[in-house]
Structure 1
């Protein structure tokens, strides 16, 4: 089975890299927006304005990454057993071999060499898994084979 602390570390590294990319993009767009050559010469010259919008959007992405990273760091890593219902933090294996880590954030990320997929309660699979139990057959026909 997969070590949750290692998975969290891997996910935090991915998020940190993406955060840094967004921060770099925001800095670049800000520099472009404030560069002397970006000053509008006519009412139709919008290079500076467009760069300012881009810088703002990238800054919002950085803030979203910060919130996600903090939420992931604060998530208690609970060990589940076969008598437990599936809740946030559970690693679940399905009868088709798919292994999912049920988290409140980061849906769609693949970890552990693409062996574990992060799903959230908002996803269709997450909605089926929330509160389900081992050996339960889901609406899509797959059975829950293990929980950790």
Structure 2
């Protein structure tokens, strides 16, 4: 499986998310500043609520911009068994029921599912609980988080 292709898919998805966040921030800003939404009394809070929403959407857009920058600078490296799982690893875990799950460990802004060929790949951050738990592990090692336990089936 091509890690650079997965990285490109992540960047495309983040670009789509950024477009949506920017549009939502603009729409909320327009609502907040529209003349019909000027408060007439202390209970008239539509403009204030829209302003809070616009601020939140702007923060979300900025977080996505930062994630895009991190993913653009990111260079997935080949797996090195002496270092164990590191940022950029493509990992297959199996749970207690022998259900496999493929994960691509990337910088922040992950948490999305991608399709590569016929395979489904979950992108997670190394800051996520499962991502942190996988760091340094090798094939055959167990990875545990409070709710679940996995075995590392293979790493690329």
TM range (shorter): 0.7 to 0.9
SS of structure 1 residue aligned to 2:17: helix
- Which residue in the other structure is 1:94 paired with? 93
Task: Compare 79-88 and 59-68 and name the one that shifted more.
Answer: 79-88
- Which residue in the other structure is 2:71 paired with? 72
Contact 1:81–1:147 (Cα < 8 Å) also in 2: no
- Which residue in the other structure is 1:4 paired with? 3
Contact 1:90–1:101 (Cα < 8 Å) also in 2: yes
Q: Which runs of 5+ in 2 are unaligned?
A: none
Contact 2:67–2:107 (Cα < 8 Å) also in 1: no
SS of structure 2 residue aligned to 1:80: coil
Match of 1:138 among 134, 138, 143: 143
Q: Name the structure where strand makes up a greater proportion of residues.
A: 2
TM-score, with length taken from structure 1? 0.88
Task: Identify if the C-alpha distance between structure 1 residues 73 and 39 changes in structure 2 by more than 3 Å, giving closer, same or farther.
Answer: same
RMSD: 1.9
Dislocated runs of 4+, deviation >4 Å: 81-84
- Which residue in the other structure is 2:129 paired with? 124
Q: Which runs of 5+ in 1 are unaligned?
A: none
- Which residue in the other structure is 2:21 paired with? 22
- Which residue in the other structure is 2:108 paired with? 105
TM-score, with length taken from structure 2? 0.84
